[in-house]
Structure 1
Amino acid sequence: MIDLHSHILPGIDDGSRSLAMSLDMARIAVADGIEVMACTPHIYPGLYMNATAGITAARDALQQSPEEAGIPLQLTIGADVHLVPGLLEGLRAGTVPCLHQTRYLLLEPSHHVAPPRFEESVFQLVAEGYVPVITHPERLTRVEDNYAVFGNPVRQGCWMQVTAGAVTGVFGTRAKYWAEKFLGDGMTHILATDAHSAGRRSPVMSKAREVAERLLGREEAELLVRGRPRMIPDNAVPSTVPRPPLRDAPRTGWLRGLFGSRR
């Protein structure tokens, strides 16, 4: 399996606190069947001032330790990016990393406050050739009132990433319900761990794959954890990637409904 969302780099954000914890996370991932993991720390100006050079250096340093410890986990880079002024310029300049230096980037929506002009900014990313992968929509506080509007971003070129732990109940019954609904309605492109530690939020995907297989069948379950995630490092053209079985949903106002009205 391939995990494209993790906070395994030690001491760089709110994820792993030490090299020892990162190695524990790597062992858990490999034991679970994960072969490739993206190191995707938060980028949030004023709080987590990460950039491509620092993330790459931290990944390179961490990669040596699993190899020395005999842990066969391949690490690549990315970031869990918030939409802030200058994001597009940072992507163009290469200071904000996409996943494995491709067109795909993890985009973390605010749980509570909508940034100004979110709709125009996201569509500009798509128009520029990027594929925003919206992270953990099942855990947003507004999902109950705005679920029906999620279909449109998928049709317009965005991807959705649901958290493996949400599928298995780690984040409670509410997140599990919405995670299963995102899966069942065909609005999930990939599963990822969003791992932050070796404890409750550890890098485990196999249990979520089993749930997905019960809901959607083996073929789609494999696409969620292996097929589509493998196509991202290959920088596949989105139109060539097998689509989730998206059901009909309202097509209007999706970003305004999900993230609030413009200010």
Structure 2
Amino acid sequence: MIDLHSHILSALDDGASDVATSVEMARIAVADGITHMACTPHIFPGKYENSATTIMPALHSLQAMLDAQSIPLTLYCGADVHIAPDLVERLKSGEVPTLNRTRYFLLEPPHEILPPRLEDFASRLLEAGFVPVITHPERLSWAGRHFDVIQRLSDLGCPLQLTADSLTGAFGSAARQLCERILKEGRASFFASDAHGVSWRKPGLSGAYAMIAEQFGQEEADRMFRRRPAAILSNAEPAAVLPSSRETVGAAAGQGFTRRLIDRIFRNG
């Protein structure tokens, strides 16, 4: 499986506190069946001032440690990006890293308050050629009251990333109910762990994978935990990332679909 949302890099945000924790998180991920993981520390102006210059060296260092210890986890760059007025410019400059340097990046809206004109902000990002993946919409405290905003973001062509632990119930009944509603409406693109440590919020996708396979079939589980994340890493057209009911939305943001990285992931993973 492929996990595109993790806080495995140490001492950059509220995730892994040290390198030993990072390595143990990697071991847990591999034991759970995860073969590829995006390192996505927060970029939150005024709180977590990360950028490519802090993320990339930490990623390369951790990958070297995993390789030296024969831990078979392949890492990719990324960030869990918060809303900022200059985000388009920072994405264009490469200061804010996208997922494996593709058009896709994780966008985390504020948890407690619905920001004004969120759909307009997402539209500007799409028009600039970047595809914001909305992270864990089911865990946003305002999402239940303003579910129409989540629907409109989905209709614009923003992939929705659900948290595996939301489906299994670890984030409570409200998050699980919203997760199930997004799934029922056919709006979920893929699941990720959003792992932060080695106890609660540890890396893990297999429990949610089993539930999706049981409820929606093995093929859909493979799409949500392998094929769509792989398509993102290969910079595929949005049609390969969005759920089938929305596969034509957002195509203007795209380039041609390349199979090379996907084939390599599946061959090696």
TM-score, normalised via structure 2 length: 0.88
CA distance in 1 between counterparts of 2:22 and 2:138 reads 26
What per-residue deviation string (whole Å, max 9, x for no partner) do you get for residues 178-204 of structure 1? Answer: 112212221110100000001110110
CA distance in 2 between counterparts of 1:170 and 1:240 reads 29
Gaps of 5+ in 1: 247-263
Displacement after TM superposition at 1:223 (Å): 0.4
Contact 2:143/2:150 (<8 A) preserved: no
- 1:257 is matched with none
CA distance in 1 between counterparts of 2:83 and 2:44 reads 9
CA distance in 1 between counterparts of 2:45 and 2:26 reads 28
CA distance in 1 between counterparts of 2:207 and 2:69 reads 26
CA distance in 1 between counterparts of 2:241 and 2:7 reads 26
- 2:119 is matched with 119
Displacement after TM superposition at 1:167 (Å): 0.8
Contact 1:63/1:74 (<8 A) preserved: yes
What per-residue deviation string (whole Å, max 9, x for no partner) do you get for residues 192-218 of structure 1? Answer: 000000111011001001111122211
Q: Does 1:215 align with 2:210?
A: no
Contact 1:83/1:115 (<8 A) preserved: no
CA distance 1:188–1:112, shift in 2 (3 Å): same
CA distance in 2 between counterparts of 1:31 and 1:136 reads 24
- 2:236 is matched with 236
Displacement after TM superposition at 1:45 (Å): 0.9
Taking only aligned residues, the RMSD between alpha carbons, in angstroms, comes to 1.4
- 1:171 is matched with 171
How many matched pairs? 246
TM-score, normalised via structure 1 length: 0.90
Which deviates further from its counterpart, 41-50 or 180-189? Answer: 180-189
1:1-263 aligned at under 5 Å gives the runs 1-241=1-241, 243-245=243-245
Greater RCO (CA < 8 Å, at least 6 residues apart) = 1
CA distance 1:115–1:142, shift in 2 (3 Å): closer
Contact 1:189/1:244 (<8 A) preserved: no
